[in-house]
Amino acid sequence: MPGYLREHSIVTSAAESLKKSMDQIEVQFSLSQLIIMGTIQQLQFEHEKNKRSDKRVVNKDIDPKKQNKKALRYL
């Protein structure tokens, strides 16, 4: 009987250790997911910001005098 109890104790100890390892892996995985989601959101935000800034109207006149006249209108 004592051998059975010792084996049971070893198995129980191994099961508890495995459960702790699984819990730790789950926490690390959850943290990894949060980091990835945050990175994706940041990239999406930067992409949207860049899309908005690309729509700015640029004065494309080649003649510098025309450019100056248009610029002076806004002063």
CA atoms within 13 A on the CB side of 13: 6
Q: Of residues 20 and 51, which shows the higher confidence score?
A: 20
Q: How confident is the model at residue 30 (pLDDT cuts 50, 70, 90)?
A: very high
> DSSP readout, 5-39?
HHHHHHHHHHHHHHHHHHHHHHHHHHHHHHHHHHH
Give kind and range of the element (H or E) at residue 69: helix 64-73
Domain boundaries in the chain? 2-73
Res 57: pLDDT: 58
Instruction: Report the C-alpha gap between 1 and 13 in whole angstroms.
Output: 18
The answer, yes or no, to whether residue 70 has pLDDT greater than 70, is no
Q: Judge if pTM exceeds 0.75.
A: no
